[in-house]
Amino acid sequence: MALLRCAASFMKMTEDISEKNLEIHTKVFLKDAVFPNISNSISVLHRCETLLPVSEKVNLVRQPINAIANNACKEQLTSDLSKLEYNFPPKPV
């Protein structure tokens, strides 16, 4: 997906050409299907390294980094909240 996103930008397959263009399709797919998963985001980030400087130019490097950070924070919060549930004494009946 990283390669496809960079290729879309390089080939100018943008909103200027068509509303339903390759650039938009790859952005939406990355946002909805790839970035919600930490391991997928890490894979995209690794791929971005081989696509430099184009991947930086299209802001593709920043997106998986942000996704990894956000997902790690969500996992930590979820983990901490579940620990809190077990630390409170049961409510008296």
65-77 tens-digit pLDDT? 999 999 999 988 8
- Predicted structure pTM score: 0.73
Answer whether 49's CB lies under 8 Å from 36's CB: no
Helix (H, G, I), strand (E, B) or coil at 14: coil
> pLDDT digits over 35-64, tens only?
999 999 999 999 999 999 999 998 899 999
* Whether pLDDT at 80 is above 90: no
Q: How confident is the model at residue 6 (pLDDT cuts 50, 70, 90)?
A: confident
Helix (H, G, I), strand (E, B) or coil at 23: helix
Q: Which two tokens stand for residue 91?
A: 């409510």
